[in-house]
Protein backbone atom coordinates (compact mmCIF):
# COMPACT_ATOMS: atom_id res chain seq x y z
CA UNK A 1 0.00 0.00 0.00
CA UNK A 2 1.38 3.43 -0.97
CA UNK A 3 1.56 5.93 1.86
CA UNK A 4 1.14 9.69 1.76
CA UNK A 5 4.25 11.66 2.71
CA UNK A 6 4.44 14.97 4.58
CA UNK A 7 7.45 17.14 3.69
CA UNK A 8 8.84 20.32 5.28
CA UNK A 9 8.62 22.69 2.32
CA UNK A 10 9.23 26.43 2.49
CA UNK A 11 8.43 29.29 0.13
CA UNK A 12 10.24 32.62 0.09
CA UNK A 13 7.94 35.41 -1.08
CA UNK A 14 10.87 37.84 -1.17
CA UNK A 15 12.69 35.71 -3.71
CA UNK A 16 12.69 36.65 -7.39
CA UNK A 17 12.00 32.99 -8.19
CA UNK A 18 8.36 32.12 -8.89
CA UNK A 19 6.58 30.29 -6.05
CA UNK A 20 5.65 27.37 -8.30
CA UNK A 21 9.31 26.97 -9.29
CA UNK A 22 10.36 27.02 -5.61
CA UNK A 23 7.88 24.27 -4.73
CA UNK A 24 8.79 22.20 -7.79
CA UNK A 25 12.54 22.50 -7.17
CA UNK A 26 12.20 21.38 -3.53
CA UNK A 27 10.07 18.38 -4.49
CA UNK A 28 12.46 17.46 -7.31
CA UNK A 29 15.43 17.66 -4.95
CA UNK A 30 13.60 15.47 -2.45
CA UNK A 31 12.98 12.81 -5.10
CA UNK A 32 16.57 12.95 -6.31
CA UNK A 33 17.97 12.61 -2.80
CA UNK A 34 15.62 9.77 -1.86
CA UNK A 35 13.74 11.75 0.78
CA UNK A 36 10.73 11.05 -1.43
CA UNK A 37 10.67 7.42 -2.53
CA UNK A 38 8.91 5.61 -5.36
CA UNK A 39 5.21 5.08 -4.73
CA UNK A 40 4.90 7.62 -1.91
CA UNK A 41 1.82 9.75 -2.10
CA UNK A 42 2.07 13.53 -2.23
CA UNK A 43 -0.44 15.78 -0.50
CA UNK A 44 -3.32 16.94 -2.66
CA UNK A 45 -2.85 20.30 -4.36
CA UNK A 46 -5.45 21.85 -2.05
CA UNK A 47 -3.86 20.41 1.10
CA UNK A 48 -0.32 21.43 0.19
CA UNK A 49 -1.45 24.92 -0.81
CA UNK A 50 -3.08 25.28 2.61
CA UNK A 51 0.08 24.14 4.41
CA UNK A 52 2.28 26.56 2.48
CA UNK A 53 -0.16 29.45 2.56
CA UNK A 54 -0.16 29.85 -1.22
CA UNK A 55 -2.85 29.63 -3.86
CA UNK A 56 -3.76 26.20 -5.20
CA UNK A 57 -2.63 27.38 -8.65
CA UNK A 58 0.97 27.53 -7.38
CA UNK A 59 0.92 23.87 -6.37
CA UNK A 60 -0.97 22.80 -9.50
CA UNK A 61 1.71 24.47 -11.66
CA UNK A 62 4.49 22.77 -9.71
CA UNK A 63 2.84 19.34 -9.95
CA UNK A 64 2.14 19.81 -13.66
CA UNK A 65 5.80 20.58 -14.36
CA UNK A 66 6.97 17.53 -12.40
CA UNK A 67 4.41 15.34 -14.14
CA UNK A 68 5.60 16.54 -17.55
CA UNK A 69 9.18 15.71 -16.56
CA UNK A 70 8.17 12.21 -15.49
CA UNK A 71 8.70 12.57 -11.74
CA UNK A 72 5.04 12.13 -10.77
CA UNK A 73 2.26 9.70 -11.61
CA UNK A 74 -1.47 10.34 -11.20
CA UNK A 75 -4.47 8.05 -10.91
CA UNK A 76 -8.11 9.14 -10.91
CA UNK A 77 -9.58 8.95 -7.44
CA UNK A 78 -6.27 7.93 -5.85
CA UNK A 79 -4.01 10.97 -5.85
CA UNK A 80 -0.54 11.93 -7.01
CA UNK A 81 2.47 9.67 -6.41
CA UNK A 82 6.21 9.61 -6.98
CA UNK A 83 6.70 7.76 -10.26
CA UNK A 84 8.60 4.50 -10.51
CA UNK A 85 12.24 4.64 -11.60
CA UNK A 86 11.23 3.32 -15.00
CA UNK A 87 9.28 6.53 -15.60
CA UNK A 88 10.99 9.28 -13.65
CA UNK A 89 14.25 11.05 -14.40
CA UNK A 90 16.99 9.45 -12.30
CA UNK A 91 20.02 11.45 -13.41
CA UNK A 92 21.54 13.64 -10.73
CA UNK A 93 22.48 16.50 -13.02
CA UNK A 94 20.52 18.61 -15.44
CA UNK A 95 21.44 18.96 -19.07
CA UNK A 96 22.73 22.38 -20.16
CA UNK A 97 19.38 23.46 -21.66
CA UNK A 98 17.08 22.16 -18.95
CA UNK A 99 16.58 25.38 -16.99
CA UNK A 100 15.38 27.14 -20.11
CA UNK A 101 12.95 24.31 -20.76
CA UNK A 102 11.50 24.69 -17.25
CA UNK A 103 10.78 28.32 -18.00
CA UNK A 104 9.00 27.44 -21.22
CA UNK A 105 6.82 24.63 -19.92
CA UNK A 106 5.82 26.44 -16.73
CA UNK A 107 3.75 28.80 -18.85
CA UNK A 108 1.61 26.05 -20.32
CA UNK A 109 -1.47 24.55 -18.77
CA UNK A 110 -2.99 23.18 -21.94
CA UNK A 111 -0.14 20.71 -22.39
CA UNK A 112 -0.33 19.28 -18.87
CA UNK A 113 -3.79 19.38 -17.30
CA UNK A 114 -4.08 18.80 -13.58
CA UNK A 115 -2.30 15.69 -12.40
CA UNK A 116 -4.49 12.77 -11.51
CA UNK A 117 -7.68 14.23 -12.93
CA UNK A 118 -8.47 11.97 -15.85
CA UNK A 119 -6.60 8.67 -15.77
CA UNK A 120 -8.95 5.69 -15.88
CA UNK A 121 -8.86 3.16 -13.13
CA UNK A 122 -8.13 0.29 -15.51
CA UNK A 123 -5.72 0.70 -18.39
CA UNK A 124 -4.75 -1.98 -20.87
CA UNK A 125 -1.08 -2.26 -21.82
CA UNK A 126 -0.27 -4.55 -24.71
CA UNK A 127 2.68 -5.23 -26.97
CA UNK A 128 2.97 -2.88 -29.89
CA UNK A 129 2.70 -4.23 -33.38
CA UNK A 130 4.44 -2.93 -36.47
CA UNK A 131 7.82 -3.29 -38.04
CA UNK A 132 10.02 -2.68 -35.01
CA UNK A 133 11.29 -5.83 -33.32
CA UNK A 134 11.62 -6.65 -29.64
CA UNK A 135 14.00 -4.24 -27.93
CA UNK A 136 14.00 -1.85 -30.88
CA UNK A 137 13.18 1.81 -30.27
CA UNK A 138 11.07 3.19 -33.11
CA UNK A 139 11.32 6.99 -33.28
CA UNK A 140 9.80 7.31 -36.73
CA UNK A 141 6.81 9.66 -36.95
CA UNK A 142 3.21 8.97 -37.88
CA UNK A 143 1.90 6.63 -35.19
CA UNK A 144 0.22 7.37 -31.83
CA UNK A 145 0.56 5.53 -28.54
CA UNK A 146 -1.93 2.67 -28.43
CA UNK A 147 -0.27 0.78 -25.58
CA UNK A 148 -2.65 2.13 -22.96
CA UNK A 149 -6.33 2.79 -23.25
CA UNK A 150 -9.46 2.65 -21.12
CA UNK A 151 -10.67 -0.92 -21.55
CA UNK A 152 -14.09 -0.28 -20.02
CA UNK A 153 -14.77 2.67 -22.33
CA UNK A 154 -13.55 0.76 -25.39
CA UNK A 155 -15.72 -2.26 -24.66
CA UNK A 156 -18.73 -0.10 -23.83
CA UNK A 157 -18.41 1.67 -27.19
CA UNK A 158 -18.37 -1.57 -29.17
CA UNK A 159 -21.16 -3.13 -27.14
CA UNK A 160 -23.31 -0.12 -27.90
CA UNK A 161 -22.44 -0.47 -31.59
CA UNK A 162 -23.72 -4.04 -31.43
CA UNK A 163 -27.05 -2.78 -30.15
CA UNK A 164 -27.59 -0.69 -33.30
CA UNK A 165 -29.56 -2.69 -35.92
CA UNK A 166 -28.08 -2.87 -39.43
CA UNK A 167 -29.32 -0.25 -41.87
CA UNK A 168 -30.64 -0.96 -45.36
CA UNK A 169 -28.96 2.12 -46.84
CA UNK A 170 -25.97 4.35 -46.19
CA UNK A 171 -25.94 8.06 -45.49
CA UNK A 172 -23.09 9.38 -47.63
CA UNK A 173 -22.47 12.15 -45.10
CA UNK A 174 -22.35 9.79 -42.12
CA UNK A 175 -24.64 9.07 -39.18
CA UNK A 176 -26.37 12.25 -38.02
CA UNK A 177 -25.75 11.68 -34.26
CA UNK A 178 -22.03 11.33 -34.97
CA UNK A 179 -21.96 14.44 -37.15
CA UNK A 180 -23.71 16.39 -34.39
CA UNK A 181 -21.10 15.28 -31.86
CA UNK A 182 -18.23 16.00 -34.25
CA UNK A 183 -19.57 19.50 -34.89
CA UNK A 184 -19.68 20.09 -31.12
CA UNK A 185 -16.17 18.60 -30.73
CA UNK A 186 -14.79 20.96 -33.38
CA UNK A 187 -16.52 23.94 -31.79
CA UNK A 188 -15.02 23.16 -28.38
CA UNK A 189 -11.53 22.08 -29.40
CA UNK A 190 -10.81 24.05 -32.59
CA UNK A 191 -13.14 27.06 -32.33
CA UNK A 192 -14.78 26.02 -35.61
CA UNK A 193 -18.42 27.20 -35.59
CA UNK A 194 -19.94 24.55 -37.83
CA UNK A 195 -23.13 22.52 -38.01
CA UNK A 196 -23.81 18.83 -38.71
CA UNK A 197 -24.92 19.83 -42.22
CA UNK A 198 -21.32 20.87 -42.95
CA UNK A 199 -19.69 17.71 -41.59
CA UNK A 200 -19.00 14.48 -43.49
CA UNK A 201 -17.66 11.33 -41.81
CA UNK A 202 -14.63 9.88 -43.61
CA UNK A 203 -12.17 7.04 -43.15
CA UNK A 204 -9.37 9.46 -42.29
CA UNK A 205 -7.36 12.35 -43.69
CA UNK A 206 -6.05 10.61 -46.80
CA UNK A 207 -9.54 9.35 -47.62
CA UNK A 208 -11.05 12.81 -47.14
CA UNK A 209 -8.44 14.32 -49.45
CA UNK A 210 -9.19 11.66 -52.05
CA UNK A 211 -12.92 12.47 -51.91
CA UNK A 212 -12.11 16.15 -52.51
CA UNK A 213 -9.78 15.31 -55.39
CA UNK A 214 -12.27 12.90 -56.98
CA UNK A 215 -14.99 15.55 -56.85
CA UNK A 216 -13.32 18.93 -57.31
CA UNK A 217 -9.89 18.45 -58.92
CA UNK A 218 -9.93 18.08 -62.68
CA UNK A 219 -7.21 16.07 -64.51
CA UNK A 220 -4.22 18.29 -65.16
CA UNK A 221 -5.11 20.79 -62.43
CA UNK A 222 -2.12 22.25 -60.60
CA UNK A 223 -2.24 21.15 -56.95
CA UNK A 224 0.11 22.68 -54.40
CA UNK A 225 1.59 20.50 -51.66
CA UNK A 226 3.98 21.70 -48.97
CA UNK A 227 7.68 21.00 -49.62
CA UNK A 228 8.77 19.10 -47.65
CA UNK A 229 5.38 17.61 -46.87
CA UNK A 230 3.17 14.58 -46.45
CA UNK A 231 3.89 12.11 -49.23
CA UNK A 232 0.41 10.59 -49.08
CA UNK A 233 -1.10 13.95 -50.07
CA UNK A 234 1.12 14.07 -53.15
CA UNK A 235 0.25 10.48 -54.04
CA UNK A 236 -3.51 10.98 -53.61
CA UNK A 237 -3.66 14.13 -55.72
CA UNK A 238 -1.39 12.70 -58.42
CA UNK A 239 -3.50 9.52 -58.60
CA UNK A 240 -6.53 11.71 -59.42
CA UNK A 241 -4.64 13.33 -62.30
CA UNK A 242 -3.39 16.53 -60.69
CA UNK A 243 -0.03 18.08 -61.47
CA UNK A 244 1.88 18.32 -58.18
CA UNK A 245 3.46 21.70 -57.44
CA UNK A 246 5.91 21.70 -54.49
CA UNK A 247 5.34 24.79 -52.30
CA UNK A 248 8.24 25.71 -50.00
CA UNK A 249 7.87 26.06 -46.24
CA UNK A 250 9.98 27.62 -43.52
CA UNK A 251 9.98 27.21 -39.75
CA UNK A 252 6.51 28.83 -39.55
CA UNK A 253 4.80 26.90 -42.34
CA UNK A 254 3.97 27.46 -45.99
CA UNK A 255 5.52 30.59 -47.53
CA UNK A 256 2.59 32.53 -48.97
CA UNK A 257 4.73 34.80 -51.15
CA UNK A 258 6.15 31.74 -52.92
CA UNK A 259 2.73 30.35 -53.94
CA UNK A 260 2.01 30.50 -57.69
CA UNK A 261 -1.25 32.15 -58.74
CA UNK A 262 -2.39 29.29 -60.99
CA UNK A 263 -2.96 26.67 -58.27
CA UNK A 264 -6.48 25.24 -58.16
CA UNK A 265 -5.98 23.60 -54.77
CA UNK A 266 -3.42 23.87 -51.95
CA UNK A 267 -2.93 21.17 -49.33
CA UNK A 268 -1.46 22.57 -46.10
CA UNK A 269 -0.89 21.64 -42.43
CA UNK A 270 -1.00 25.01 -40.61
CA UNK A 271 -1.51 23.71 -37.05
CA UNK A 272 1.78 21.74 -37.10
CA UNK A 273 3.50 21.58 -40.46
CA UNK A 274 4.55 18.09 -41.40
CA UNK A 275 7.43 17.42 -41.13
CA UNK A 276 9.18 20.74 -40.28
CA UNK A 277 6.83 21.46 -37.36
CA UNK A 278 5.99 25.15 -37.83
CA UNK A 279 2.71 26.71 -36.67
CA UNK A 280 1.36 29.19 -39.19
CA UNK A 281 1.05 32.56 -37.36
CA UNK A 282 -2.08 34.67 -37.62
CA UNK A 283 -0.66 37.33 -40.01
CA UNK A 284 0.48 34.65 -42.42
CA UNK A 285 -2.88 32.86 -42.15
CA UNK A 286 -4.57 36.08 -43.14
CA UNK A 287 -2.21 36.52 -46.10
CA UNK A 288 -2.84 32.92 -47.17
CA UNK A 289 -6.59 33.45 -47.14
CA UNK A 290 -6.20 36.71 -49.06
CA UNK A 291 -4.14 34.82 -51.68
CA UNK A 292 -6.87 32.16 -51.97
CA UNK A 293 -9.61 34.76 -52.41
CA UNK A 294 -7.59 36.59 -55.04
CA UNK A 295 -6.65 33.49 -57.05
CA UNK A 296 -9.81 31.43 -56.49
CA UNK A 297 -7.80 28.48 -55.12
CA UNK A 298 -9.32 25.99 -52.70
CA UNK A 299 -7.37 25.41 -49.49
CA UNK A 300 -7.43 21.94 -47.94
CA UNK A 301 -6.46 22.25 -44.27
CA UNK A 302 -5.16 19.06 -42.66
CA UNK A 303 -5.68 19.37 -38.89
CA UNK A 304 -4.11 15.96 -38.25
CA UNK A 305 -2.65 16.43 -34.73
CA UNK A 306 -3.93 19.84 -33.64
CA UNK A 307 -5.20 18.40 -30.32
CA UNK A 308 -1.63 18.20 -29.00
CA UNK A 309 0.26 21.42 -28.27
CA UNK A 310 2.80 22.46 -25.62
CA UNK A 311 3.74 25.86 -24.17
CA UNK A 312 1.49 27.63 -26.67
CA UNK A 313 -2.17 28.54 -26.94
CA UNK A 314 -4.38 27.32 -29.79
CA UNK A 315 -4.43 29.16 -33.09
CA UNK A 316 -7.75 29.41 -34.95
CA UNK A 317 -8.28 26.91 -37.75
CA UNK A 318 -8.11 28.38 -41.25
CA UNK A 319 -11.59 26.99 -41.89
CA UNK A 320 -12.96 28.99 -38.98
CA UNK A 321 -11.53 32.16 -40.53
CA UNK A 322 -12.99 31.53 -44.00
CA UNK A 323 -15.38 28.54 -44.22
CA UNK A 324 -16.21 29.27 -47.87
CA UNK A 325 -12.60 28.99 -49.05
CA UNK A 326 -11.17 26.27 -46.78
CA UNK A 327 -12.06 22.57 -46.43
CA UNK A 328 -11.04 21.16 -43.05
CA UNK A 329 -9.83 17.57 -42.68
CA UNK A 330 -9.51 15.78 -39.33
CA UNK A 331 -8.83 12.27 -38.10
CA UNK A 332 -8.79 10.00 -35.05
CA UNK A 333 -5.67 8.23 -36.31
CA UNK A 334 -3.36 10.37 -34.14
CA UNK A 335 -5.65 11.12 -31.21
CA UNK A 336 -6.96 7.54 -30.79
CA UNK A 337 -5.74 4.93 -33.30
CA UNK A 338 -5.38 4.56 -37.09
CA UNK A 339 -7.05 1.18 -36.65
CA UNK A 340 -10.39 2.91 -35.98
CA UNK A 341 -10.38 4.29 -39.52
CA UNK A 342 -12.51 7.36 -38.94
CA UNK A 343 -12.11 11.06 -39.69
CA UNK A 344 -14.13 14.04 -40.88
CA UNK A 345 -14.39 16.61 -43.61
CA UNK A 346 -15.91 20.06 -43.02
CA UNK A 347 -17.00 22.13 -46.02
CA UNK A 348 -19.78 24.45 -47.24
CA UNK A 349 -23.03 22.58 -47.69
CA UNK A 350 -23.22 22.94 -51.52
CA UNK A 351 -19.70 21.53 -51.81
CA UNK A 352 -20.57 18.73 -49.41
CA UNK A 353 -23.59 17.87 -51.56
CA UNK A 354 -21.28 17.45 -54.58
CA UNK A 355 -18.87 15.26 -52.60
CA UNK A 356 -21.76 13.13 -51.28
CA UNK A 357 -23.05 12.52 -54.81
CA UNK A 358 -19.58 11.55 -56.00
CA UNK A 359 -19.19 9.31 -52.99
CA UNK A 360 -22.44 7.54 -53.85
CA UNK A 361 -21.11 6.91 -57.37
CA UNK A 362 -17.98 5.35 -55.84
CA UNK A 363 -20.04 3.20 -53.39
CA UNK A 364 -17.89 4.61 -50.61
CA UNK A 365 -18.79 4.94 -46.90
CA UNK A 366 -17.62 4.33 -43.34
CA UNK A 367 -18.98 1.12 -41.74
CA UNK A 368 -21.98 1.75 -39.51
CA UNK A 369 -20.63 -0.10 -36.44
CA UNK A 370 -17.46 2.03 -36.48
CA UNK A 371 -19.54 5.20 -36.56
CA UNK A 372 -21.76 3.91 -33.75
CA UNK A 373 -18.77 3.06 -31.54
CA UNK A 374 -17.14 6.47 -32.04
CA UNK A 375 -20.50 8.12 -31.35
CA UNK A 376 -20.52 6.47 -27.92
CA UNK A 377 -16.90 7.47 -27.23
CA UNK A 378 -17.81 11.09 -27.93
CA UNK A 379 -21.20 11.09 -26.22
CA UNK A 380 -19.85 9.58 -22.98
CA UNK A 381 -16.86 11.95 -22.87
CA UNK A 382 -14.42 9.05 -23.23
CA UNK A 383 -12.58 10.58 -26.19
CA UNK A 384 -12.12 13.89 -24.33
CA UNK A 385 -10.72 12.06 -21.31
CA UNK A 386 -8.40 10.04 -23.54
CA UNK A 387 -7.12 13.23 -25.19
CA UNK A 388 -6.40 14.83 -21.82
CA UNK A 389 -4.46 11.76 -20.67
CA UNK A 390 -2.45 11.60 -23.87
CA UNK A 391 -1.61 15.32 -23.78
CA UNK A 392 0.07 14.75 -20.43
CA UNK A 393 1.81 11.60 -21.61
CA UNK A 394 3.09 13.11 -24.85
CA UNK A 395 4.23 16.21 -22.94
CA UNK A 396 6.49 13.97 -20.85
CA UNK A 397 8.05 12.39 -23.93
CA UNK A 398 8.48 15.70 -25.67
CA UNK A 399 10.14 17.06 -22.50
CA UNK A 400 12.57 14.13 -22.53
CA UNK A 401 13.59 14.92 -26.13
CA UNK A 402 14.06 18.63 -25.38
CA UNK A 403 16.11 17.84 -22.28
CA UNK A 404 18.33 15.34 -24.09
CA UNK A 405 18.88 17.14 -27.39
CA UNK A 406 18.26 20.75 -26.33
CA UNK A 407 19.10 23.37 -28.98
CA UNK A 408 18.98 20.81 -31.80
CA UNK A 409 15.20 20.46 -31.42
CA UNK A 410 12.86 22.44 -33.69
CA UNK A 411 9.10 22.36 -34.22
CA UNK A 412 8.36 21.02 -30.74
CA UNK A 413 5.44 23.27 -29.74
CA UNK A 414 2.77 20.89 -31.05
CA UNK A 415 2.07 17.44 -32.44
CA UNK A 416 3.84 14.12 -31.99
CA UNK A 417 7.14 14.76 -33.74
CA UNK A 418 10.05 17.19 -33.73
CA UNK A 419 12.71 18.15 -36.26
CA UNK A 420 16.45 17.79 -35.71
CA UNK A 421 18.17 19.82 -38.42
CA UNK A 422 21.64 18.47 -39.28
CA UNK A 423 24.29 18.86 -41.99
CA UNK A 424 23.55 16.71 -45.03
CA UNK A 425 26.69 14.60 -44.71
CA UNK A 426 25.89 13.61 -41.11
CA UNK A 427 22.44 12.12 -41.64
CA UNK A 428 23.03 8.81 -43.54
CA UNK A 429 25.75 7.58 -41.21
CA UNK A 430 23.81 8.62 -38.12
CA UNK A 431 20.71 6.72 -39.24
CA UNK A 432 22.76 3.62 -40.07
CA UNK A 433 24.68 3.56 -36.79
CA UNK A 434 21.53 4.25 -34.77
CA UNK A 435 19.80 1.29 -36.40
CA UNK A 436 22.79 -0.89 -35.54
CA UNK A 437 22.15 0.09 -31.92
CA UNK A 438 18.43 -0.67 -32.11
CA UNK A 439 17.02 2.82 -32.78
CA UNK A 440 14.96 3.43 -35.94
CA UNK A 441 15.02 6.98 -37.35
CA UNK A 442 13.35 8.86 -40.18
CA UNK A 443 15.08 11.43 -42.38
CA UNK A 444 13.79 14.78 -43.57
CA UNK A 445 15.04 14.04 -47.08
CA UNK A 446 12.41 11.33 -47.51
CA UNK A 447 9.58 13.88 -47.29
CA UNK A 448 10.71 16.06 -50.19
CA UNK A 449 9.14 15.89 -53.63
CA UNK A 450 12.17 17.40 -55.33
CA UNK A 451 15.82 17.85 -54.31
CA UNK A 452 16.02 18.24 -50.51
CA UNK A 453 16.41 21.81 -49.29
CA UNK A 454 16.74 20.93 -45.59
CA UNK A 455 18.38 17.92 -43.99
CA UNK A 456 18.01 16.18 -40.66
CA UNK A 457 15.85 13.80 -38.64
CA UNK A 458 12.10 13.71 -38.05
CA UNK A 459 11.74 12.24 -34.55
CA UNK A 460 8.35 10.79 -33.66
CA UNK A 461 7.51 10.15 -30.04
CA UNK A 462 3.94 8.95 -30.42
CA UNK A 463 4.51 5.20 -30.49
CA UNK A 464 7.57 4.97 -28.22
CA UNK A 465 7.33 4.79 -24.43
CA UNK A 466 8.95 7.42 -22.23
CA UNK A 467 11.82 5.06 -21.41
CA UNK A 468 12.28 4.25 -25.10
CA UNK A 469 12.32 7.94 -26.03
CA UNK A 470 15.04 8.56 -23.45
CA UNK A 471 17.06 5.59 -24.66
CA UNK A 472 16.75 6.63 -28.29
CA UNK A 473 17.73 10.22 -27.56
CA UNK A 474 20.73 9.03 -25.56
CA UNK A 475 21.91 7.03 -28.57
CA UNK A 476 21.42 10.02 -30.89
CA UNK A 477 23.29 12.28 -28.46
CA UNK A 478 26.20 9.87 -28.24
CA UNK A 479 26.43 9.48 -32.02
CA UNK A 480 26.38 13.25 -32.51
CA UNK A 481 29.06 13.86 -29.89
CA UNK A 482 32.69 14.30 -31.02
CA UNK A 483 33.45 10.84 -29.65
CA UNK A 484 30.59 9.33 -31.66
CA UNK A 485 31.82 10.52 -35.05
DSSP notation for 129-158: -SS--TT-EE--SS----SEEEHHHHHHHH
Query: DSSP string of 406-475?
Result: GGGEES-SBSSEEEEE--TTTHHHHHHHHHHTTEE-EEGGGG-SSS-SS-EEEEE-SSS-HHHHHHHHHH
Predicted TM-score (pTM) of this structure: 0.73
User: Mean pLDDT for the chain?
Assistant: 85
Tell me the per-residue pLDDT of 214-266, one tens digit each, with 9 for 90 and over: 999 999 999 999 999 999 999 999 999 999 999 999 999 999 999 999 999 99
235: number of Cβ within 10 Å: 15
Tell me the per-residue pLDDT of 292-350, one tens digit each, with 9 for 90 and over: 999 999 999 999 888 888 877 677 889 989 999 999 999 999 888 888 999 999 999 99
Give pLDDT, residue 134.
59
| Secondary structure in 3-state letters for 286-319 | HHHHHHHHHHCCEEEEECCCCCCECCCCCCCCHH
Rounded alpha-carbon distances, angstroms, from residue 284 to 269, 287, 313:
13, 5, 17
Amino acid sequence: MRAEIDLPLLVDRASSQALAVQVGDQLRDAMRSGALKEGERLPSTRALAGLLGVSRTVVVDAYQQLYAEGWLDGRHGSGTFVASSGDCMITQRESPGQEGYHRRTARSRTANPQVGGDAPEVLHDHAKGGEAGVGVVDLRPGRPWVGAYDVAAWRRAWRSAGDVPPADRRDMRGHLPLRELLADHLRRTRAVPTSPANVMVTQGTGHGLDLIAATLVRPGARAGVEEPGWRVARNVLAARGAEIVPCPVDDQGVIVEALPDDLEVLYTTPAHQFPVGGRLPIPRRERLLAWARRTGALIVEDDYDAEFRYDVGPLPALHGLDPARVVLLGTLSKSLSPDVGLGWLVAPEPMLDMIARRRHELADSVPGPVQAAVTTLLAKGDLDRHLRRMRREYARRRAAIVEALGPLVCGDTAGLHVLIELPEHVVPGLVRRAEERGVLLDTLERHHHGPPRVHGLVLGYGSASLAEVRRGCAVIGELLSPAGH
